[in-house]
Amino acid sequence: MLQHPQFDPIALSLGPLQVHWYGLTYLAAFAMFYLLARLRAARAPYAGTWNPQEIEDMLFVGVLGVVLGGRLGYVLFYKPAYYLAHPAEILAVWQGGMAFHGGLLGVIAAMAYYAWKTRRHFFEVADVVAPCVPVGLAAGRMGNFINGELWGRVADPALPWGMVFRGAGELPRHPSQLYQFALEGVLLFALLWWYGRKPRPLGAVAAWFLIGYGSFRFVAEYFREPDNFLGLLALNMSMGQWLCVPMIGAGALFLVLAHRGVWRSPARA
């Protein structure tokens, strides 16, 4: 049975300025996205169709989508009654509370805006973005682990990597943050990067992101402790699992439509 290292959540203090590990993981996520997007846009089948300034512009609107969407998603999906009674706290992101599925919707809105602005097809943008996202998710899950939050469900005491987390009682738990790091981050990145190396039907790479993330997150939720203010919902599924169901369904639909050649990139001057 292992003990969580109980890292100090503050990575660096400079007088009154405190830099948190979780903030650094977000910074690392955006930096890795930028580098990977530059690399992806410079290679076939995208070589010559994107320039570095376009990647920077896309990252800027994407960051807004992640932060605003992630926060509003948490407010609407997880604690709507609380924030309805305390609307002044909706923008208090420093108190914690971000939701991936809300961030995803925010990024979709940001990509739609960027596609419209640059006269690209939405899925032309999404197919470039999709393989670059999982490394950011991996960074975020590592931030969860460092903070000792979003721990897993109680594990068999014989589990070699069962871990006791501060504030979670004395029983060993699954380090579900590391499971999600491996599945939604490392494995999903490897699969999408490999799949996206060759020309694919427009929308297929983005569709596989939805299917892959939704499936991996659905499985990981069986090892993650449900939010104590929600518990398990219908069919003994967590909120995270219920939010993954339409995500997987949409990905499957988009994949079928992509292989039928429904979408075409618009001509640009």
Is this prediction's pTM over 0.85? yes
Check the annotation: does 141 bind a ligand. Answer: yes
Residue 153 CB contacts under 8 Å (≥ 6 apart), including other chains? 173, 174, 176, 222, 223, 224, 225
SS3 state of residue 2: strand
Exposed e or buried b per residue across 86-107, where buried means at least 16 C-beta atoms within 10 angstroms of its C-beta? eeeebeeeeeebbbbbbbbbbb
Query: Which tens digit of pLDDT belongs to each residue from 168-216?
Result: 999 999 999 999 999 999 999 999 999 999 999 999 999 999 999 999 9
pLDDT mean across residues, the chain: 91
State residue 269's pLDDT score. Answer: 42
How many beta carbons lie within 10 A of that of residue 24, not counting itself? Answer: 16
State residue 234's pLDDT score. Answer: 95
Query: Which tens digit of pLDDT belongs to each residue from 75-129?
Result: 888 888 888 888 888 877 766 678 888 889 999 999 999 999 999 999 999 999 9
> Is residue 252 within a helix (H) or strand (E), and if so which, with residue range?
helix 239-259
* Dihedral pair phi/psi, residue 37, rounded to 5°: -65, -40
Query: Which tens digit of pLDDT belongs to each residue from 127-160?
Result: 999 999 999 999 999 999 999 999 999 999 999 9
